[in-house]
Structure 1
């Protein structure tokens, strides 16, 4: 089978690394990164919130975070520094690749995802004293 591509597929070279290690998470946020939690609602309930992160359904994330999309968030610009977090890091990695191919050069993912953040205790999970602030029904 021969595949013919009429338009070259390419993405510009990006000087920003594609990944962030769990121990670098807070420093990347301090330097202007915006955390994006791609986990579903049941994961939030079971394992805790990623405080300070924008929670977005992973199925809608590419459209919401791509500046050229008609449904893009106001903060979705080519200069946005998204720090993507999925449960294990794999979905976030794929999304980071797609965003960078669309020109969002600051898109990065956390290696190991939320699990790695949780192991290092850098998730900002909600303590027992704050659980009464919402009704989990």
Structure 2
């Protein structure tokens, strides 16, 4: 299957068995396995729907350039082997971004199926992992 979205070159589907989407109920497992959560909702949507604890928050319009290695706006941690777990409102924008990052050589880009909406349905929005609470408690005021 080939999807073409101009001005980006054709994008090949991931090989079978390649983790491209992560179900919302596997969010914690995916993060514990080393995927870095990236919240690409707008700031207004994050304010209205709640933050995703531990996620890197990026403006959706800047995310492609920030997560692609070698651009003038790349994050220091952007690399071809970066393992991003992209999260949008309903998963659609995150899926689009994952496809485009893979087309640019970031083979570990994946998206959260159902997005933040699915996290909320599974009551994962706002939950803290065991280590996060300790980290917050130990942080000096």
| Secondary structure class of the residue paired with 1:117 | helix
Q: Does 1:84 align with 2:86?
A: yes
Distance 1:117 1:28 in 2: 13
Structure 2 residue ranges without an equivalent (≥5): 1-8, 129-141
Q: Deviations over 1:9-57 (max 9, x none)?
A: 4559555321010011111100111000011111111111111001001
Residue 26 of structure 1 corresponds to 28
Residue 57 of structure 1 corresponds to 59
Distance 1:47 1:74 in 2: 28
- The question of whether the paired residues in 2 share the 8 Å contact of 1:88 and 1:112 is answered with yes
In terms of Rg, which structure is larger?
A: 1
Tell me: higher relative CO, structure 1 or 2? Use CA pairs within 8 A at least 6 residues apart: 1
Q: In angstroms, what is the RMSD of aligned CA positions?
A: 1.9
TM-score (norm 2): 0.78
- The question of whether the paired residues in 1 share the 8 Å contact of 2:14 and 2:20 is answered with no
- The question of whether the paired residues in 2 share the 8 Å contact of 1:16 and 1:105 is answered with no
Q: What number of residue pairs does the alignment pair up? A: 119
Counterpart selection for 1:42 from 17, 41, 44: 44
Deviation at 1:123, TM superposition (A): 2.0
Q: Does 1:68 align with 2:76?
A: no
Counterpart selection for 2:98 from 84, 90, 96: 96
TM-score (norm 1): 0.80
Distance 2:11 2:24 in 1: 29
Residue 17 of structure 1 corresponds to 19
Deviation at 1:70, TM superposition (A): 1.7
